[in-house]
Amino acid sequence: MVASESSAVRLRPGPALVACAAIAGVAAVIYFFWLASLTPLGGDRTALLPVVAFGSWATFSVQVPVRHRNFIAGVVLSEIPALVAIVFLSPWQGCLAMAAGHCAVRIGKPLTKSASNVLAYLVSFEVGQLVYHAALHGSSPVSPAGWGAGTATVLAVNVVDFVLLSAIWTIAAIGWSPNFRAIAVQDLLAVAISSLGGLVAVQLVWANTWDIALFVIVLVAIGTAFRGALVSAQRYVNLERLYEATRSLGSLRSTDDVVRAVLSSCEALLGTTTVQLVTGGTSYRLCADGALSASAPSPRTAPVPDDSGSALGGHSSGPLVVLLDKDDARAGYLAVEAQREIGRPDRRFLEALAANAWVALRSAHLHEQLALEASERRHQAQHDALTGLPNRALFSESLNAALAVEGQKVAVMLVDLDGFKEVNDTLGHHTGDSILSQVGQRLAPLAERGWLVSRLGGDEFAVLVPQAPDMPVIKDAADDIVNCIAEPIAVDGLLLDVRASLGVAVAPDHCSDSASLVRHADIAMYAAKRTGGGAHFYDRSEDRSTLRRLRLATELRRAIDGGGLDVWYQPVLNLVTGGVVSCEALLRWEHDQFGPIPPSEFIPVAESGGLIDQLTWLVLTKALRQAKAWQEVVPGLHVAVNLSARNLMSVDIAERLSRELDKSGLDAASLTLELTESSADPQGAERALIDLCDLGVNLSIDDYGTGFSSLSRLKQLPFHELKIDRSFVKEMIRDKGDEAIVRSTIELARSLGRTVTAEGVEDGTTFRHLQSLGCDAAQGYFLARPLPPAQCRDWLVSSAR
Ligand code: C2E
Ligand code: CA
Ligand code: CA
């Protein structure tokens, strides 16, 4: 008979009653058509009826546990009395005795379920009688043929009972999930033990009816001894399980692993079971495929404190609830619904398991917390706080990892914002930060392509492209990056235009190690900056130019100290009087090896190499003395000297200049300092500009038109003159746009009360046109080229005549 009938299975009354009625009908049909006429083969021993009924009750109510390794099966031995009934009682007596015993066991249990169990067994018992009579085929029940018939009968009863119950449960049960392996093992054990026991009983009764008493006594004695041994065996098994579970729990580091281990230990203990572990507001259970499912805990399983306040709680009708911490129900609990009875040893095991689970859960939680903190710290160490992008450390690490992959093409793009320092200085760090984080946000989506976008520091970003595509594709991506940064950025209601220069270098095309790759991308980025921004690929010839720059820096230092630099002068003429008004001092460097090096090349080298102050003072001291000397030739002659933005950063510039003016004897009003628009703009320069103005020197905005001075800003600056950039002047006769710029600049300067000088005048037409526009002064090859001091003196002398 099916020993593992699930206590957790509940039947829907409607379908269950229909099934019961159908089975009862089958039982009646079998009885009246085939059984009624049969007579007991072992002779009529009606006196045995109460004994069989008692045997039926006893064997149905006690499951004999049989242990195999860690598996304990509950076996029902009801086929022992059944076999005695088939051999020695008439069919109706047998049915009555077996059904009565079975009914007695089920007193107090749900009715539909009891009815279906009893009726299913009745039909299988009837089938068993038919099988016995057919199999014996006239032989003696106590012959080998009888033994075979007995075994076949027991097998038939078990199979039919299982088939019928399975059918009923399939139709009517809620939540029935049969463990066929366990059922098969239990039934096979039942068949083996019951047929052996049944045959011995038949043998004894055959000889003498009341030998059955002897059989019962022996059975009870064996059962008692066996049960004692089995209980201690089960304790031992449970202990062993507990030991294994505890040992495995101790080494687990994640909550999920602990929960899974606890749930599988419970299932191993109780067989087909529904176990939930509820902790931290989540209810976990194991799915059929071994996966863990988490859900909100159901109130049905919630623990209720019992009278003794012990670890066991729960509703009497619901699952068994075992608290993880017996002193604190909030820690969580195990809710167990077993398909067999949960005995004391099982409870002990569950309590100990729950206590160990609680310790393991807390330790796993601690581990998870630590791991989380460690990963947060690692994240912080590898990411930039302002933009949240990976920082230089993570970039370098990822670059090295990408280069370590054999045969992989890797591209590095370095992005630098143009003029960011000025924005930061002018509009404040708050605006600067906002721009940086918005640029970061615009670049971040590149990560979706598997690229690493990082902020290396300041206004410098880097994009690492592992498995780089072909050059044209990278070029397009680089252009996209530059364009997306160029979209106006909104900060505090202002729309700012931010431009970027981007340099790309690719390994292994350009080099193969990380340091060179970054350096090459850097060279390309500076080349992009020099050529007015945008994206630029690394080019070997630029590397040479970088080398040349490095070399020039060293040579320039030597030239400053060793007198290798000359100052030439270019006269400036008044357009109204035609007289010379000023000379602009321009540096000249004739290198032994490289030949003449233009100021456009060595001035940036001096600026980046920290030599610009020395250079400027070299020009200033010479120019002041020169002008003083030439004032004898041209009275009131001015001299113009170019300043770099960096010169204005020295706090003592005005003071020092005042001393140099004193030494030279030149009047401050005879000196003009030329500054480009951008160098005059930063806020840091304002103090120096005011001090210089106070000193009495003239200030001139050089290369006007190439920068981005706003009118309002221009008005604030304390300058006296605008010098229109030669690029506009040169083309103004042919280009209407350039002419308009020159014309409006002259008008603007007039309205602000400033004078205008046009530089780069290369022909007479331009000269005359400037005159007609009302420009104040002009400078250019048409009038005079920059000249060495001696030649300039001659030129001044001849022009003064
Ligand atoms: P800048 O201040 O605009 O100087 C005028 C430049 O225009 C000079 O170039 C001059 O030779 C050139 N120039 C004059 N007339 C004409 C013309 O008709 N046509 C053309 N195409 N060019 C003309 P140079 O001497 O090569 O200087 C280039 C730049 O280097 C200067 O531009 C200035 O920004 C810088 N520089 C020169 N000397 C110094 C210096 O002592 N200190 C600083 N900070 N910068 C200097
Ligand atoms: Ca100049
Ligand atoms: Ca200029």
Q: Which atom of ligand 1 is nearest to the CA of 674?
A: 2
- Where does residue 753 fall: left (phi above 0), alpha (psi -120 to 50 degrees), or beta otherwise? left
Per-residue pLDDT tens digits for 287-306: 877 788 888 887 766 665 45
Q: In this structure, what token pair is assigned to residue 233?
A: 């065996």
Protein residue closest via CA to atom 12 of ligand 1: 760
Q: Which atom of ligand 1 is nearest to the CA of 644?
A: 44
Distance CA 345, CA 221 (A): 23
Protein residue closest via CA to atom 43 of ligand 1: 642
Protein residue closest via CA to atom 10 of ligand 1: 786
Q: In this structure, what token pair is assigned to residue 482?
A: 């530059």
Q: Which atom of ligand 1 is nearest to the CA of 612?
A: 44
Protein residue closest via CA to atom 37 of ligand 1: 586
Q: Is 679 in the pocket of ligand 1 (CB under 6 A)?
A: no
Distance CA 48, CA 206 (A): 12
Q: Is the peptide bond before 305 cis (omega within 30 degrees of 0)?
A: no
Mutate to test the pocket of ligand 1, among 560, 603, 624, 675 (most ligand atoms within 8 A of CB): 603
Distance 542 CA to ligand 1 centre (A): 24
pLDDT at 331: 87
Backbone torsions φ then ψ of 467, nearest 5 degrees: 50, 55
Q: Is 673 in the pocket of ligand 1 (CB under 6 A)?
A: no
Give the orientation angle of helix 599-608 with respect to helix 612-630, to 10 degrees: 130
Q: Is 510 in the pocket of ligand 1 (CB under 6 A)?
A: no
Protein residue closest via CA to atom 4 of ligand 1: 586
Q: Which atom of ligand 1 is nearest to the CA of 568?
A: 25
Q: Is 603 in the pocket of ligand 1 (CB under 6 A)?
A: yes
Distance CA 773, CA 622 (A): 35
Looking at all shown ligands, the one closest to residue 779's CA atom is 1
Residue type, 174: I
Protein residue closest via CA to atom 3 of ligand 1: 703
Q: Is 769 in the pocket of ligand 1 (CB under 6 A)?
A: no
Q: Is 786 in the pocket of ligand 1 (CB under 6 A)?
A: yes
Distance 13 CA to ligand 3 centre (A): 103
Protein residue closest via CA to atom 11 of ligand 1: 786
Distance 524 CA to ligand 3 centre (A): 27
Burial class (CB in 10 A: 0-12, 13-18, 19+), 139: middle
Distance 542 CA to ligand 3 centre (A): 27
Distance 703 CA to ligand 1 centre (A): 10
Q: Is 587 in the pocket of ligand 1 (CB under 6 A)?
A: yes
Distance 130 CA to ligand 2 centre (A): 124
Q: Which atom of ligand 1 is nearest to the CA of 570?
A: 14
Protein residue closest via CA to atom 46 of ligand 1: 642
Distance CA 605, CA 614 (A): 13
Distance 642 CA to ligand 2 centre (A): 5
Backbone torsions φ then ψ of 702, nearest 5 degrees: -85, 160
Are β-strands 410-418 and 333-338 bridged in parallel, bridged antiparallel, or unpaired?
unpaired
Q: Is 725 in the pocket of ligand 1 (CB under 6 A)?
A: no
Q: Is 703 in the pocket of ligand 1 (CB under 6 A)?
A: yes
Looking at all shown ligands, the one closest to residue 723's CA atom is 3
Q: Is 325 in the pocket of ligand 1 (CB under 6 A)?
A: no
Mutate to test the pocket of ligand 1, among 556, 586, 762, 792 (most ligand atoms within 8 A of CB): 586
Q: Is 757 in the pocket of ligand 1 (CB under 6 A)?
A: no
Report the 3 state secondary structure along 224-291: HHHHHHHHHHHHHHHHHHHHHHHHHHHCCCCHHHHHHHHHHHHHHHHCCEEEEEEECCEEEEECCCCC
Low-confidence ranges of the chain (pLDDT < 70): 1-9, 65-74, 175-179, 271-273, 300-318, 339-340, 678-684, 707-713
Looking at all shown ligands, the one closest to residue 730's CA atom is 1
Q: What number of residues does the chain have?
A: 801
Chain centre to alpha carbon of residue 242: 38
Q: Is 787 in the pocket of ligand 1 (CB under 6 A)?
A: no
Looking at all shown ligands, the one closest to residue 614's CA atom is 1
DSSP secondary structure, 558-611, as one string: HHHHHT-EEEEEEEEEETTT--EEEEEEEEEEEETTTEEE-HHHHHHHHHHTT-
Mutate to test the pocket of ligand 1, among 642, 650, 671, 721 (most ligand atoms within 8 A of CB): 642
pLDDT at 318: 66
Protein residue closest via CA to atom 33 of ligand 1: 642
Backbone torsions φ then ψ of 317, nearest 5 degrees: -85, -20
Q: Is 700 in the pocket of ligand 1 (CB under 6 A)?
A: no
DSSP secondary structure, 431-460, as one string: HHHHHHHHHHHHHGGGGGGT-EEEEEETTE
Q: Is 780 in the pocket of ligand 1 (CB under 6 A)?
A: yes
Angstrom distances, CA of residue 329 to CA of 335, 367, 434, 511: 13, 23, 51, 65
- Site of tokens 């039919």: 160
Protein residue closest via CA to atom 25 of ligand 1: 586
Protein residue closest via CA to atom 45 of ligand 1: 642
pLDDT at 5: 44
Q: Is 676 in the pocket of ligand 1 (CB under 6 A)?
A: no
Q: Is 658 in the pocket of ligand 1 (CB under 6 A)?
A: no
Q: Is 571 in the pocket of ligand 1 (CB under 6 A)?
A: no
Distance 610 CA to ligand 3 centre (A): 23
Protein residue closest via CA to atom 34 of ligand 1: 642
Q: Which residues contact 491 (CB under 8 A, 6 or more apart)?
A: 427, 431, 434, 435, 438
pLDDT at 792: 97
